[in-house]
Structure 1
Amino acid sequence: MQTNKTFFLFFVFVVLLVFLFLFGAHAQVKVERWNRFEISLKGPVTGNPFTENHFSAIFSNNSKRVSVDGFYDGEGNYLIRFMPMELGKWNYITVSNIAALNHRSGLFTCVAPNNANHGMIRVADTYHFRYEDGKPYYPFGTTAYAWIHQGPELEEATLTTLKSSAFNKIRMCILPKYYTYVTNEPLFYPYEKGDGKNRWNFKRFNPAFFRHLEKRIDDLNALGIEADLIIFHPYDKGHWGFDSMGKENDLLYIKYLAARLSAFRNVWWSMANEFDYIKSKPRAVWDDYAAAVVGHDPYRHLCSIHNGSVYYDNWKPYFTHVSIQNGAPVEDFGRAGLLRDVYFKPVIYDEVCYEGNLPQRWGRLTGQEMTAAVWQGIIAGTYVTHGESIKGNGDTIFWAKGGILKGESPARIAFLRTLLENGPGPLHLADNWKDNQTAQTDSTYYLIYLGKPKQKEWMFSLPKKGGPPVGTKYKVDLIDTWKMSVTPINQVFETSKADGYRIYDKNHSLVSLPDDSYLAFRIHLIK
């Protein structure tokens, strides 16, 4: 009897040690806020695991329950990715129609993020953006549609270029692109090969394609760059058929994409590039597709839809901001702000033509024109995305394939970004009815842009609307937006009583200007 009792106590002790070991192992798993926690389980490979095996998990803490879709990653691997939004302990339990994947539970601890992790981007103050932790975010983006389909050498060159640039967002296609200047076959395809009659099996994804995409998204995140992912585009035209898979397969693709990528904090969803040029998809279907993206994304990443010739219904609730293709709004003063008053959302002019030397009209802006377009957007309280289509030796154009930036505008755009980020906050037109050159945060800070016209002299003048009281003192810097210089004006300006709709310096002083275009003024309150 004593032997049995001893054995029983020993057995209980061993079980307790195992339990404590397993519990301790789970308890020691720590994940930064807004980073990824991943569950990886082995499951069946028979049949079609992409469509027949359902796998999800419920994550909960003291106040929240979040349901997250899992996905099949090939070779019997089933994954769930979760981005914790709140600190503290999180528990999870899996749900599946497969016994090996069902009712698996565990926990981890969400800890404070490091200094480089500011979380996801959110809409702020109706027309602007900020990180989840409150840090302002001003989108200074660029475009490289097919850069992730060019092979390691060129892709790494693109990342090196981006690292030394000031761009903090990049517009990029998920699916490969077959278009002028981009006709190479990618290393990876999103689907497995089909049978003799069908080139692709749209019910079976190629995990290697998506793993490569994920690596590049993480590479961008390490550089502080948001990945504005274009889900569909018209640049296929039957070459692969990825633009005409049918609605059922499109929705399956969206669900798989969201399951894999929603836990990446630097992801933005762009439903399409030039949605109206994808002739296989009628206009009405985009509501269903946008609803599917939002429905499968538990974190509600930023989401937009990009037009060709015709705008979409950007006020619909799926869309957090407005993505516009149109160069006209940023060719002159004040136009860019008009769409703010239509949509009451942040407006990003994601294509206003490109700095380049191509024969096509969309690819031949000068560096000065590209830079001026970005300034016109910023002054109006909107944002403008850069693109470069300079063709040199070979056919590697940054807009198409990435690589090396050759243009003159990126450095000037970086200069503008520094000016904006060193200021007190996002800008809006001070008086959008009568003064489309003067932007302000409030009466303590103004930015005035003169654009291309040259002036011999300048008189201190502010709009009465939102302006300062009499006797307010300011200092002024002269900015050359092309030469990237800031020159303090050695004078204190003091406001007088409003004269009509304007407020002038009490002495009506004149400042002589250099014989240059693209000048601006930065006006600071003297405290």
Structure 2
Amino acid sequence: MPYSPDSLLGDVLRNRQATAVVRKHLSGIVNAPLGVQLRHVSLAQVVGFLDNTRANPEARDAFFVELATVDETLADQPRPTEAVTVPSDSYEGPEVPLGSADADWPSSVTRWHPFELELHGPAHGNPFTDIALSAEFIHQDTGRTLTAHGFYDDDGIHRLRLMPDEEGAWGFATTSNSRSLTGITGTFDCLPAAPGEHGPVRVHNTFHFRHADGTRHLPIGTTAYAWTHQGDELEERTLRTLAEAPFNKMRMCVFPKAYLFNANEPPLYPFAGSLKDGWDFRHLNPAYFTHLENRIRQLGELGIQADLILFHPYDRWGFSDMGPVADDRYLRYVVARLAALPNVWWSLANEYDLLWAKTEEDWHRMAAVIGDTDPHGHLLGIHNCTDFWDNNANWVTHASVQRVDVYRTAENTDAWRTEWNKPVVIDECGYEGDIDQGWGNLPAQELVRRFWEGAVRGGYVGHGETYLADDEVLWWSKGGTLKGESPARIAFLHRILEESPQDGIGPLLGDWDVPVGGVADTYRLAYFGFGQPRYRTFALRPGIRWKVDVIDTWGMTVTELPGTYEGVFRIDLPGRQFIAVRLRAV
């Protein structure tokens, strides 16, 4: 039976011959958002979205005529389901002495710094699937234990990593189906944390964040999805930019990305194989993950959290649809390799609801794989496109949210806090830039306004930048150099928040037209956004005296008013947009 205007795009793209017709007639769909976002939409609707077919009936008819010659019953057969490989106890013969692999490890590490046990062992067969390796670490004073999982790093090298979180003596013992790798024991000392090292970020006071040592963390994030897939020159330029920027969190993909302004091939791939011959998901490429790991370490040196996106839908290589066994193996490898780094957050997916090959059950299963493999319990979230994930799920530590309305997103922060009772991080509220996509042509003033709206409502908003460039190096995808006006204003907001109460602010009851955040009877931050009042009357509980500051959030100035105020009082304002008023109890 031939395809028709009623056929779904996703069904058509399962057929190589039909896919070739789509690429021929529906130009730009391969690396465009529509190719992913419209998989569940009929072809009749798809051609209505694309410029060349919407305005040209002849082009539209030519597409359907050629597509009708393709038989949908000849669609490509799905890849056979991979069976789980159970590592065998006979991987090495009885002649191999137990624990005979050469082992190296440091005698001491500082608190929250990765400890690494390096084992020089077997490499025959497929070490990625044929060897299971773990170690139990025990704190020798408290008896507390942590289990870390090993990973293969090529050339017969196997590694086990831990991020020790208690000072004192630790011991370890390895377990493996490989005789040479099992039963290796040793000790090391965990020394006090190095200066500036605060440990991993945790949820604090329900809606906020702190490092493990109690240091406050105010996530001011940015996005550069594919920055680690651009080659050394551009990646080093990105790091230099970040060193001068205000951001302390970077959203970034593990896998390469195919999308608008991101059609180049990466220098490395995560699996053995090639574009021409396909990928062997049973053989990971350690060089790829070493490169990723080194970039994450460099972010850590800059004080930046790496918000690692483990899956995403914008994929022309097949990494978004490897099958559950390969998915789980990849996750175990990535988590075993990176969980000892203190500046890691796990983002299970970017726009999970566009990954058409995965079900809700798949996401829960993969979250469990991460939880079982990560001995340190790093933050874990999952990000939506149009349909929110149920962030009440017990494995979700914080809500990672994309805008759900062209204009209104950060304004929902207080409602989402109430719904999920977790920190709300709006990782995508639109980007400062000038591309033709509605999410990517916000003026800087509007992006900064959204940051303030989210902040006074008790959440955290993320930055992105999408200014057109002849070389197609847009910060939001490839990194490079920031061009916009918002980062300086975001840094100013960060300074204001650093001066707020240490346990974080939340939404307070205020007037109907002005959001107010703070702590009752202690601290209040009212934001007028695009309003431009010449004055404001405040009606607060008698008996508390307030110092008042008028803040120009765009001009980045703070004007402290003389004296104190109590009860019902009027504050004169400059009559321009983007003004906030801060009240601090005396």
CA distance in 2, matches of 1:106, 1:422: 46
Equivalent position SS for 1:276? helix
Structure 1 position 266 matched with structure 2 position 356: no
CA distance in 2, matches of 1:42, 1:278: 39
Letter in 1 for 2:311: F
Offset at residue 329 of structure 1 (A): 9.6
Structure 1 position 215 matched with structure 2 position 294: yes
Offset at residue 367 of structure 1 (A): 0.2
Partner of 1:524: 584
Offset at residue 512 of structure 1 (A): 2.7
CA distance in 2, matches of 1:350, 1:135: 22
Letter in 2 for 1:199: G
TM-score of the superposed pair, with normalisation by structure 1: 0.88
| 1:336 corresponds to which of 410, 413, 438 | 413
Equivalent position SS for 1:458? strand
Partner of 1:316: 393
Partner of 2:378: 301
Letter in 1 for 2:497: L
Partner of 2:175: 95
Partner of 1:65: 145
Partner of 1:471: 543
Checking the alignment, whether the CA contact within 8 Å between 1:271 and 1:303 is kept in structure 2 is yes
Letter in 1 for 2:565: F
Structure 1 position 39 matched with structure 2 position 117: yes
Checking the alignment, whether the CA contact within 8 Å between 1:258 and 1:297 is kept in structure 2 is yes
- Which of 396-405 and 437-446 deviates more? 437-446
Offset at residue 55 of structure 1 (A): 1.3
Letter in 2 for 1:158: T
| 2:320 corresponds to which of 243, 256, 260 | 243
| 1:187 corresponds to which of 267, 292, 300 | 267
Equivalent position SS for 1:331? coil
Offset at residue 67 of structure 1 (A): 1.2
Checking the alignment, whether the CA contact within 8 Å between 2:516 and 2:527 is kept in structure 1 is yes
The gaps in structure 2 that reach 5 residues or longer are: 1-103
Checking the alignment, whether the CA contact within 8 Å between 1:331 and 1:376 is kept in structure 2 is no
Partner of 2:463: 386
CA distance in 2, matches of 1:72, 1:293: 18
Checking the alignment, whether the CA contact within 8 Å between 2:116 and 2:160 is kept in structure 1 is yes
CA distance in 2, matches of 1:435, 1:445: 19
Checking the alignment, whether the CA contact within 8 Å between 1:327 and 1:351 is kept in structure 2 is no
What is the total number of aligned residue pairs between the two structures? 480
Partner of 1:277: 354
Checking the alignment, whether the CA contact within 8 Å between 2:535 and 2:575 is kept in structure 1 is no
Closer, same or farther in 2 for the Cα pair 1:260/1:435, shift >3 Å? same
CA distance in 2, matches of 1:443, 1:437: 16
1:337-352 correspondence to structure 2 within 5 Å: 337-352=414-429
Partner of 1:460: 538
| 2:285 corresponds to which of 177, 200, 206 | 206
Checking the alignment, whether the CA contact within 8 Å between 1:41 and 1:101 is kept in structure 2 is yes
Partner of 1:7: none
Letter in 2 for 1:36: P
Offset at residue 434 of structure 1 (A): 5.0
Partner of 1:224: 303
Structure 1 position 515 matched with structure 2 position 564: no
Offset at residue 307 of structure 1 (A): 0.5
Checking the alignment, whether the CA contact within 8 Å between 1:36 and 1:82 is kept in structure 2 is yes
CA deviations on 1:294-350 (whole Å, 9 max, x unpaired) are 111111100000011101121111110101111549738853210111111101111
- Which of 145-154 and 513-522 deviates more? 513-522
CA distance in 1, matches of 2:244, 2:404: 27
Offset at residue 400 of structure 1 (A): 0.8
Equivalent position SS for 1:293? helix
CA distance in 2, matches of 1:163, 1:63: 41
CA distance in 1, matches of 2:319, 2:270: 9
Partner of 1:487: 559
CA distance in 2, matches of 1:525, 1:314: 35
CA distance in 2, matches of 1:333, 1:215: 34
TM-score of the superposed pair, with normalisation by structure 2: 0.79
CA deviations on 1:166-190 (whole Å, 9 max, x unpaired) are 1110100000001110111111110
Offset at residue 193 of structure 1 (A): 1.2
Equivalent position SS for 2:137? strand
CA distance in 2, matches of 1:310, 1:345: 18
Letter in 2 for 1:486: V
Offset at residue 424 of structure 1 (A): 2.1
Closer, same or farther in 2 for the Cα pair 1:35/1:272, shift >3 Å? same
Structure 1 position 83 matched with structure 2 position 163: yes
CA distance in 1, matches of 2:357, 2:179: 40
Letter in 2 for 1:487: T
Letter in 2 for 1:418: R
Identity of aligned residues (%): 43
Checking the alignment, whether the CA contact within 8 Å between 1:334 and 1:436 is kept in structure 2 is no
Letter in 2 for 1:58: E
Higher strand share: 1
Partner of 1:53: 131
CA distance in 2, matches of 1:119, 1:435: 40
Checking the alignment, whether the CA contact within 8 Å between 1:333 and 1:437 is kept in structure 2 is no
CA distance in 2, matches of 1:42, 1:167: 39
Checking the alignment, whether the CA contact within 8 Å between 1:330 and 1:376 is kept in structure 2 is no
Equivalent position SS for 1:235? coil
Closer, same or farther in 2 for the Cα pair 1:195/1:126, shift >3 Å? closer
Equivalent position SS for 1:155? helix
Checking the alignment, whether the CA contact within 8 Å between 1:83 and 1:263 is kept in structure 2 is yes
Closer, same or farther in 2 for the Cα pair 1:317/1:324, shift >3 Å? same
CA distance in 1, matches of 2:510, 2:367: 33
1:135-150 correspondence to structure 2 within 5 Å: 135-150=215-230
Checking the alignment, whether the CA contact within 8 Å between 2:268 and 2:288 is kept in structure 1 is yes
CA distance in 2, matches of 1:187, 1:384: 32
Checking the alignment, whether the CA contact within 8 Å between 2:261 and 2:474 is kept in structure 1 is yes
Offset at residue 435 of structure 1 (A): 7.0
Structure 1 position 371 matched with structure 2 position 448: yes
Equivalent position SS for 1:265? coil
| 1:421 corresponds to which of 485, 498, 510 | 498
Checking the alignment, whether the CA contact within 8 Å between 1:330 and 1:374 is kept in structure 2 is no
CA distance in 2, matches of 1:259, 1:104: 18
CA deviations on 1:393-429 (whole Å, 9 max, x unpaired) are 3211000100111111111010000110122231111
CA distance in 1, matches of 2:472, 2:279: 29
Offset at residue 517 of structure 1 (A): 0.3
CA distance in 2, matches of 1:392, 1:122: 38
CA distance in 2, matches of 1:85, 1:50: 29
Offset at residue 363 of structure 1 (A): 0.5
Checking the alignment, whether the CA contact within 8 Å between 2:454 and 2:460 is kept in structure 1 is yes
CA distance in 2, matches of 1:233, 1:249: 15
Partner of 1:153: 233
Letter in 1 for 2:108: K
CA distance in 2, matches of 1:157, 1:440: 38
Letter in 1 for 2:227: W
Offset at residue 444 of structure 1 (A): 1.8
Checking the alignment, whether the CA contact within 8 Å between 1:195 and 1:201 is kept in structure 2 is no
Q: CA RMSD in A?
A: 1.8
Equivalent position SS for 2:310? strand
Offset at residue 53 of structure 1 (A): 1.3
Offset at residue 280 of structure 1 (A): 1.5
